[in-house]
Chain A
Amino acid sequence: MTSGIAATPGLATDAGKSPERLLAERTARLEDAFALRKPDRVPIIMPASYFLAGWGGVSNQRLAEDDDIRQRILEDAALHFQPDSIIGVFNDPRAPLALGDRMTKFPGHGQSENGPFQFVEHEFMTPEDYGPFLKDPADWSIRVYLPRAFAKLEGLAALPPLGMAAFGTYNLMNLGGFRKPAIADALRALLAAAEGQAAADAWNAASAERLAELGFPQPPLVGSLIEAPFDFMSDTLRGMRGVMTDMLRRPELLLEAEQRVLDIQLEHAIAFNRATGLRSAFIPLHRGSDGFMSIAQFERFYWPQLREMQLRLIDAGITPVCFYEGVWNKRLDYIADLPRGKTIGWFQRSDIFAVKEVAGKTLCIMGGMPNTLLQAGTPEEVRDRTREVCQRVGAGGGFVMATGIGEMEGCRPDLVETWVQATREFGAV
């Protein structure tokens, strides 16, 4: 097998190395950065996502839905650009489409074949639902929430109270109701979604294995997916408008609900990581950044719960990888207070130099390249930015170069090349 490097000029330092050796070197480079050690050079992760469609000459929909095409383009891009790790399309449409998911939009479904994946926020949970939710989150989720959030699961609303299952043989008298067409349809849709997701999981595993054979390790955010308790209440349940009014109108209920979803998610993440052997939990953060809430509100509704989540993950041997979306410039002291060397922070638009200064001894920093520059900048601007970030944020280690956003759709391939090569050139600091 060849490493494919010879095809790309300007990458002489890795020329002639076997994929096995490249895999070992890249893995060590990333592990060193995560552990706040100084790697041989700054590692670079390319969160390509739908960039791969434009680059591979297929529609977004084809990329998302054709397993073979998706893998071929992903491999081609990895070999062409030679990052230390690459991330393909993150969200698989199979299960959401099988269930009539009302909170996601995929290319070719309700939009053009080149439309992007988008999350559509709703207020699926009303203020009146806090009571039933807190009393029995599982029962409320299955009989009330799922029918609202997924068109094909509306039949679940007709189920009897789930706690009746504990009535053993006597409850079997209620089973006849499960043959109602609406319930049967919902159960069939669930089975179809499970099969779709299993196929997606199998693809992901095979894809990771294949990339490893080519010399590319998995990125650190592969693991369980959970959210800050506030974001969990906001994104998929109350919607931002709902949760923000709850902060002022019913703060105690919101806080109690946050504690419940904190415990539920930790139980899930710990079990998931134990079952899969994966070592990280990815936590994309949405509403805690500067601008959404005051510092006083942040200290009451957002950070204590997120901090507890991270501490308990660390205790369980799991590395929290937080995506700090938006700008966190006024909240860096909180991040700096996390246990040293135990977490990774991917920063979208925060001042990356301030992040290094305030929290650089606490956590591994990911990010540094604005997507806008790879889309609308010049090669000189890209090189200058890369040099400055490598020298200032890469100094002493604990840094992984990446775009600010985990979606490179619209980036110019020539600028991406410039960026990856400049990271090699200036990253040996």
Chain B
Amino acid sequence: MSEELVDAIADMRDEEAVELAGRLLEQGTPPLEVLEDCRKAMAIVGQRFEAEEYFIPELILAGETLRAISEIVKPRLSGTDGAAKNGKIVLGTVAGDIHDIGKDIVSFMLDVNGFEVFDLGVDVPPETFVAKVREVHPEVVALSGFLTLSFDAMRDTVDALEEAGLRGGVKIMIGGGTVDENVRAYARADAYGDTAADAVKLAKSWTGVKVR
């Protein structure tokens, strides 16, 4: 492990981190080891975000650093990253709504906490959620929405999972700008969260991962 690389990523020295990753690979460090350092660094970034030392600027910059390093690592990878995951989560912003900020933060935080996240993007119709759930059998479905109109789309999505006979197999969390307990009851979801940290806590409790 390169502590120097982990620190550079986690401390927001992005240019230095990318340069360092390139040098490590040149020197013969196995690509998977560089990726593992990235994972460790991202976990630190996630912890600092939860502790409110870091905010969205740091999450975005860390994400960009990771992307830049992945680009130089990928050509050198033969197999796949076989790290075991905590559980599967299907995530998306519901139909009619194109807001992605909150969803992306939740996706990031779930990912750095060891979940396999299937991010369906924005304006996702109920049938797309149903198809993905049928395909990957996730433990958790996470619905995001910012517009007031998204409450209906959330309810429609929950209904669609119910009609497809998939509701019993998943826990459903919802979140976004105006979501609260009223909306949770309205959409008949299992829980709602105000923050990305809430999403992680819910996912961990539902999949039996020990909550820190």
**What is A's interface to B at a CB cutoff of 8 Å?**
105, 111, 115-116, 118, 120, 240-241, 244-245, 247-249, 291-294, 297, 326, 348-349, 370-373, 375-377, 404-405, 407-411
Stretch at the interface among B29-37, B75-83, B164-172, B181-189: B181-189
Give Cα A247 to B64, complex, Å.
14
Instruction: Establish whether residues A244 and B57, one from each chain, have CB atoms under 8 Å apart when the complex forms.
Output: yes
Shortest A255–chain B CB gap in Å is 14
Instruction: Establish whether residues A372 and B12, one from each chain, have CB atoms under 8 Å apart when the complex forms.
Output: no
Given contacts A240-B101, A292-B55, contact A371 B148 (CB under 8 A): yes
Contacts of A375 in B (CB 8 A): 148, 151, 182-183, 186
Instruction: Establish whether residues A372 and B60, one from each chain, have CB atoms under 8 Å apart when the complex forms.
Output: no
Most A CB contacts (10 A, CB to CB) among B56, B57, B98 go to B57
Does chain A have a CB within 8 A of B178? yes
Q: Say which size band chain B's interface belongs to.
A: 20 to 34
Q: Is the interface of A mostly helix, strand, loop or mixed?
A: loop
Give Cα A120 to B100, complex, Å.
10
Shortest B59–chain A CB gap in Å is 8
Output the nearest chain B residue to A301 by Cβ-Cβ distance.
B57
Contacts of A240 in B (CB 8 A): 56, 101
Instruction: Establish whether residues A249 and B182, one from each chain, have CB atoms under 8 Å apart when the complex forms.
Output: no
Residue among B55, B98, B101, B185 making CB contact with A118, cutoff 8 Å: B98
Instruction: Establish whether residues B149 and A116, one from each chain, have CB atoms under 8 Å apart when the complex forms.
Output: yes
Contacts of B151 in A (CB 8 A): 372, 375-376, 410
Given contacts A120-B98, A409-B148, contact A371 B178 (CB under 8 A): yes
Give Cα A118 to B54, complex, Å.
29
Output the nearest chain B residue to A325 by Cβ-Cβ distance.
B177
Shortest A303–chain B CB gap in Å is 15
Known A111-B96, A372-B148; 6 more pairs at CB < 8 Å = A249-B61, A349-B177, A375-B151, A405-B148, A405-B178, A410-B151
Shortest A258–chain B CB gap in Å is 15
Output the nearest chain B residue to A120 by Cβ-Cβ distance.
B98
Instruction: Establish whether residues B56 and A372, one from each chain, have CB atoms under 8 Å apart when the complex forms.
Output: no
Q: List 5 A-B contacts (CB under 8 A).
A: A116-B147, A245-B64, A349-B177, A372-B179, A410-B148
Contacts of A294 in B (CB 8 A): 52-55
Give Cα A247 to B57, complex, Å.
7
Instruction: Establish whether residues A245 and B177, one from each chain, have CB atoms under 8 Å apart when the complex forms.
Output: no
Give Cα A408 to B186, complex, Å.
17
Instruction: Establish whether residues A291 and B60, one from each chain, have CB atoms under 8 Å apart when the complex forms.
Output: no
Does chain A have a CB within 8 A of B139? no
Shortest B184–chain A CB gap in Å is 9
Instruction: Establish whether residues A373 and B12, one from each chain, have CB atoms under 8 Å apart when the complex forms.
Output: no
Contacts of A411 in B (CB 8 A): 148
Shortest B191–chain A CB gap in Å is 16
Does chain A have a CB within 8 A of B205? no
Give Cα A105 to B98, complex, Å.
10
Residue among A105, A116, A292, A376 making CB contact with B56, cutoff 8 Å: A292
Q: Closest 8 A-B residue pairs measured CB to CB?
A: A376-B186, A244-B57, A372-B182, A376-B182, A247-B57, A244-B60, A293-B55, A410-B148
Q: Hey, what's the 0/1 contact readout for B145-159 against A, CB within 8 Å counting as 1?
A: 001110110000000
Does chain A have a CB within 8 A of B50? no
Output the nearest chain B residue to A240 by Cβ-Cβ distance.
B101
Most B CB contacts (10 A, CB to CB) among A245, A297, A373 go to A245
